[in-house]
Amino acid sequence: MPEPTQRTAIVTGAARGIGAAVALRLAADGMQVGVIDLDEAACAGTVDAIARAGGRALAVGADVADEAAAEAAVERIATQLGEPAVLVNNAGVLRDNLLFKMSVDDWDTVLAVHLRGSFLMSRAVQAYMTKAGYGRIVNLSSTSALGNRGQANYAAAKAGLQGFTKTLAIELGKFGITCNAIAPGFIVTDMTAATAARIGVDFEQFTQATAKTIPVQRPGYPEDIAHTASFLVSEGAGFVSGQVLYVAGGPRD
């Protein structure tokens, strides 16, 4: 089914990694893209790459966990680019530690960015989507939602996002809005590189060792998640809602 050409998408945490790949892919799919990250200048690489490929994008600096900033970012994108029809809640951080060493700040930061941020961004865009009678929301969960040593905060946030996703699907379905989650497994990004660095392992070796544990015998790449997001936000995916799609090179749920 061809995509309408004028849809506007918002991707958070899109300066790099999975978010950048999703932004590029949605632009290639014909959407104009609001590229949100903490630092507006850091979004330049993504915005320039979209422009070089013939697309249109706007860089917006905002902390998605900050209510006023999240709402202002959505309003600015609606005004300068177009009213959002698609939102991909991708911004994320890690503060890994075993429970007995995990600080309250580690807990609060991770819950704030992933859960509060997705809530604030979704609440802001739904005003436009319900008015238009169309919308697509995708939340980035993780296989860590199933439990992962050293990630009590992150696992709780990513499991919470799954419940959040299903509830938005129920509440917003009658307005033509779908909401789904992608739960990636191991994806090669700065985030997984930071995990390797934290445990003192060479990233290339870490990646190769992890790949051996994955049924398809390779690591995931940001483009694998971008491809999945492209499907979930497409016009034709309107009957897919409230789902959690594990994109992990094998079954993980």
Catalytic residues: 154
181 belongs to the binding site for ligand NAP (CB under 6 A): no
Binding of ligand NAP at residue 12 (CB under 6 A)? Answer: yes
Q: Is 184 in the site for ligand NAP (CB under 6 A)?
A: yes
Which tokens in the block code for residue 77? 């994108």
Q: Which of residues 205-244 bind ligand NAP (CB under 6 A)?
A: none
Select 123 or 132, whichever has its Cβ closest to ligand NAP. Answer: 123
Both tokens assigned to 215: 């049924």
In the complex with ligand NAP, the residue whose CB is nearer, 142 or 178, is: 142
Choose one: 59-67, 166-174, 204-212, 238-246; the region binding ligand NAP (CB under 6 A).
Answer: 59-67
Strands 177-184 and 84-89, by their bridges, are unpaired
In the complex with ligand NAP, the residue whose CB is nearer, 38 or 85, is 38
Amino acid letter at 247?
Answer: V
The residue within the footprint of ligand NAP, chosen from 60, 91, 156, 177 (CB under 6 A), is 91
Rule CB under 6 A: say whether 65 interacts with ligand NAP: yes
Contact 85, 11 (CB under 8 A): no
Residue 113 lies near ligand NAP (rule: CB under 6 A): yes
Distance CA 71, CA 212 (A): 43
> Which span sits near ligand NAP by CB under 6 A: 25-33, 37-45, 118-126, 128-136?
37-45
Q: Which of 128, 55, 125, 142 is nearest to 87 (CA)?
A: 125
Cβ atoms of residues 244 and 162 within 8 Å: yes
Indicate whether 93 belongs to the interface with ligand NAP (CB under 6 A): yes
| Whole-angstrom distance, CA of residue 16 vs CA of residue 13 | 7
Q: Which residues pair with 24 in a beta bridge?
A: none
* Of 13, 82, 160, 249, the one binding ligand NAP by CB under 6 A: 13
Q: Using an 8 Å Cβ cutoff, are 11 and 35 in contact?
A: yes
CB atoms within 10 A of CB 230: 19
- Strand ranges (E), 55-146: 57-61, 84-89, 135-140
Helix (H) or strand (E) holding 198: helix 190-198
Q: Print the binding letters for residues 126-165 with ligand NAP: x by CB under 6 A, - otherwise.
A: --------------x-x-----------------------
Enumerate binding residues for ligand NAP (CB under 6 A): 12-13, 15-19, 36-39, 63-65, 90-93, 113, 117, 140, 142, 184, 186-187, 189-192
